[in-house]
Amino acid sequence: MKKFLSKAVLSATLLAGAIVPAAANLQTASAQDAAIPVTILAQSSSEQNANIVRDQLTKAGFQVDVSLQPDYASFNAQKDAGNYDLAISSWTTVTGNPDYAVRSLFISGGDYSIISNPEVDELIELAASQTSEEYVETYKQLEEVLVTENAYIAPLYTSLKAQAYNHEVLNGDSIRLSKSRAFAWEPVSYNDESLNTTRPLVLTQEMGDLTSLDPIKGNDGSINQLNTNMYVRLINLTDDDQITSENSLSHNFVIADGNLDYYFILRDDINFAKIEDGVAVDTGDLVSAEDVIFSLNRAKDPESVPDHRTYSLHEHISEVSVVEDIAELEAAVVSGSDQTVKEALEAGLETPIAELVAAEADVDNAAGNYQVVKLTATEPFPQVLNYLGHQSAGIVSEQQVSAINTYDVAAYDPNSDIAYGDQRAITEGSTYDNHLWASGPYILVDKNDYQANFVKNPAYRPDTDADANIEAVTVRFIGDASSSLSALRAGEVDLLYSLSEVNYPIVEGETSLTLQSIPSNGVAYMLFNTNTPGRPVSDSVNLRKAILYAINQEEINAAYQGLKLPAFTTLSPLVETGNTLVADPAKVEEFLTNYINE
């Protein structure tokens, strides 16, 4: 069925790039009467983006309504209900690898995907099996399917990553700014080191409603930084996204020839901590191979917990096991090398491997008794290591999680069952019963509506360079970015982890503050509603393309003082595909005409 829209109005509106006054139109219908309605869904924190896009689409002849939601929960409720045409979204590839930038968002059945396209699925899987030299062309094709052919998303920009801190209080040499990894707390120190044991480090984040302190049950801004600092992982990412064993559970890691088997030799100087009477105490329980196996098996199993949010990140894990025979390490060869796996795992160790042990009680690195964990992938997939650096791969205690999660997963009732990591267990009041065991440098003591309080894990690599410097960390929940900046300027907050480019001049004007910024892996984009039958944008690729080519990234960048970078998809900061989006009024007219004539 044809949709009524005056051709004269359409042509004049789109070619002129502005709404034509009714007096200029010789036909009776005005441009506004004929304009196609579009609803933009956004959180209040994205209000500037919503306003810019609204103006661009209005200029292109659409009738635009902005549905601004106060928080992530309200935004998600409207999104799940399908009450939008475009949802302003963002994604940061916190693992530093391109598979993470697309899998959860676009693969059929992905954690955040509303798309089901076999070609998209095939290209994602193909690229995952390829080396970095091979996958560029595959990801280029994937981008074209996502944007050029189907207009599933409309890119806005790539951001810089910035933070600001009070250099009169904090030692600048101890402050890290990582491209992907969440902010690490343990290196931070005060200029006056005597304050490390007496003064809490005060940070802030927008979200105070914590999804879960169980690392596999959340992957959002409410818990990423918290869980990253509360659970150790097999490996970490460097500040520039390289895989490292630094400050991880492993001394070394090795990829064996064939890219199917991955070996990790574990340290023996990290125990789990728990909270007793508001104080962090050493449980005496070593973070061991059995905890690694338990943690990664539940991470990859979508049925291991209700509302599992991160299983798709770990679906390439086939098996996790303990190696007990040194001969296996001596026979296996490092990928791309003649070196044996044993030699690579022993590199830099004070004591070489004398014996491989399975039992936690037999571990003694100083005597040469080590645990080695072997991870076997479902297929050659080198990017599996990047996922092991994600907070969802944090190592939890098999003993404690099993003791808390006694419910039937299929019959789980969130109103009566409190699962491991449920924020109710650490919220002040009648529900408080802190059951957390932390393997990382800090553990959460308690929270309320205003802040969460952490203390140092006394059993995390004590008396080493990795031992956390500051004894306590307070994370204040401040939902408004302007209020967070005001708190930093007033000295109420020591460091502001996330800072919008529009606020750079304010920070640079403060003599007590230092600004740090680098290109990030964060991309802002608009997700088209392709999942609500009967809604025009869901049913018509022509309409989506008309909206797509009305987006002008240069104008958006100008609104941010030229501090944004171009984007095509969430892959843009990671893979140079050469794809670009250029606003084109002629294409807007072409696809809108096609839509009207459908």
What global pTM score does this model have? 0.80
Cβ distance 447 to 210 under 8 Å? yes
Q: Is 361 exposed, middle or buried (0-12, 13-18, 19+ CB in 10 A)?
A: exposed
Judged by average pLDDT, the poorest of 18-32, 63-77, 188-202, 281-295 is 18-32
Cβ distance 48 to 555 under 8 Å? no
Sign of CA pseudo-dihedral 407, 408, 413, 414: positive
DSSP calls for 242-308? -EE-TTSSEEEEEEBTTSSEEEEEEPS-BEEEEEETTEEEEEEEE--HHHHHHHHHHHH-TTSSTT-
C-alpha 40/C-alpha 161 separation (Å) is 25
Task: Tell which wins on pLDDT, 361 or 240.
Answer: 361
Mean of pLDDT values over 157-183: 95
Cβ distance 466 to 525 under 8 Å? no
pLDDT given for residue 134 in this prediction: 86
Q: Which residues contact 228 (CB under 8 A, 6 or more apart)?
A: 181, 182, 184, 391, 394, 440
- Per-residue pLDDT of 478-526, as tens digits, reads 998 899 999 999 999 999 998 888 899 999 999 999 999 999 999 999 9
C-alpha 9/C-alpha 35 separation (Å) is 9
User: How many other CB atoms sit within 10 Å of the CB of residue 159?
Assistant: 24
Indicate the pLDDT class of residue 4, thresholds 50, 70 and 90. very low
- Per-residue pLDDT of 49-80, as tens digits, reads 999 999 999 999 999 999 999 988 899 999 99
Mean of pLDDT values over 381-393: 92
How do strand 369-370 and strand 261-266 relate by DSSP bridges?
Answer: unpaired
List domains and CATH numbers for the chain. 36-159+522-596 (3.10.105), 170-493 (3.40.190.10)
Q: From the centroid of its chain, how far is CA 44? A: 20
Mean of pLDDT values over 538-556: 97
Query: What tokens appear for 465 in the block?
Result: 């360079």
C-alpha 245/C-alpha 297 separation (Å) is 21
Indicate the pLDDT class of residue 102, thresholds 50, 70 and 90. very high
C-alpha 374/C-alpha 265 separation (Å) is 9
Sign of CA pseudo-dihedral 139, 519, 581, 72: positive
For residue 580, the one-letter residue type is T
SS3 142: helix
DSSP calls for 457-486? -TTBSTTSTTS-SSSEEEEEE---HHHHHH
